[in-house]
Amino acid sequence: MEPWGVGMSLLAEAGAYVSWGPIQISVTNLVIVGLMVLVFLAALVVPFGREHDSRGPR
Amino acid sequence: MTGPSQPVEDRSWTVRLRSWIGRLVPPGQALPDRQPVYVASWIYVFGVLTLAGFVVVVATGCVLAIGGTTWWHVSALGHFVNSLHLWSTELFFAFMVIHLWGKFFMAAWRGKRALTWMTGAVAFVGSIGTAFTGYLSQSNFDSQWISTQAKDGLNAVGIGAWFNVLDPGQMLTWHIALLPLVVGVLAVWHVVLVRRHGVVPPIDAVAPVDAGPPVDAGPPDGSVVDPGDVVRAG
């Protein structure tokens, strides 16, 4: 394969991007950020389930 | 300043250092087995998850250092360890960012915790630099691409002569020695400060008075936890 052929092949595998004005982010990174936000929100609302001990600190 | 009337052991730097270390955190707070009740929330887990990720990053990085930067190209074990290093880094950053979000919306710099916040923020920035030099040390086309893209920006701000991203040797030594040392020292400092001042309470709660560390100023606002309420930490 010619060198420019390799370059075109690599470009073809560059992946999908989302553009919004000056902001550009890959779909992969956008999904990861979305998952992190979901984990953050879940951490705020999901019960911890720790057994409660109200005898006071030792 | 020490005077001639002071005992010899008080003038010893080892005694003074031992005394300083002993006063770093309140008694019983270095490895506490109980925490205030509001700590029983998943949002309080992400700090220690970040620490766990950091330990795995450093451990796998040490193994990679034994084999060298090209080991993972020619060895299945090297490839596996390299993948562990990458994914533990990904988790380290994901946990750290969620920890940052939680502490930001909690205004975690309250109650004389400004230095705790600052050491965490600087450790975050240092971690970004460590990860960046790691991407430059992959010894593949990806590292070549990133370095050639980064050089113009770094040259434009005038630091290219001292921090040359096209020098893989310099980037590797920064990645495996200088920056991990900085991040490690900041992480230890950060954890000591957390143990010294206690975990920050939620905005609508006050910390137990008898838990040891200093607490937020201000009276209870009616939505407080029972000062005696604690949960086992482990």
Set of chain A residues whose Cβ sits within 8 Å of the Cβ of B230 = 53-57
- Facing residue for B42 by CB, picked from A48, A54, A55: A48
Q: Is the pTM of this model over 0.95?
A: no
Residue B106 backbone dihedrals phi, psi, to 5 degrees: -90, -5
What are the pLDDT digits (tens) for B8-21?
Answer: 667 799 999 999 99
Tokens of B40: 């029983």
Residue A55: band (very low, low, confident or very high) from pLDDT cuts 50, 70, 90: low
Q: Are B102 and A39 in contact (CB under 8 A)?
A: no
Q: What is the mean pLDDT of residues B49-54?
A: 98
pLDDT, tens digit, 9 for 90 and up, residues B77-126? 999 999 999 999 999 999 999 999 999 999 999 999 999 999 999 999 99
Confirm if B210 and A57 have CB atoms less than 8 A apart. Answer: yes
Taking only the tens place, the pLDDT of each residue in B208-229 is 654 444 444 433 343 344 444 5
Interchain contact, A57 vs B97, CB within 8 Å: no
Q: Do residues B194 and B208 make contact, with C-beta atoms less than 8 angstroms apart?
A: no
Phi then psi dihedrals of residue B50, to 5 deg:
-60, -45
A19 phi, psi to nearest 5 deg: -115, 135
CA distances in angstroms from B33 to A8, B116, B146, B201, listed in the order given: 59, 21, 45, 17
What does the pLDDT look like over A6-16, one tens digit per residue? 556 655 667 89
Helix spans in chain B (H) = 13-22, 46-67, 71-74, 76-105, 114-135, 141-156, 168-173, 179-197
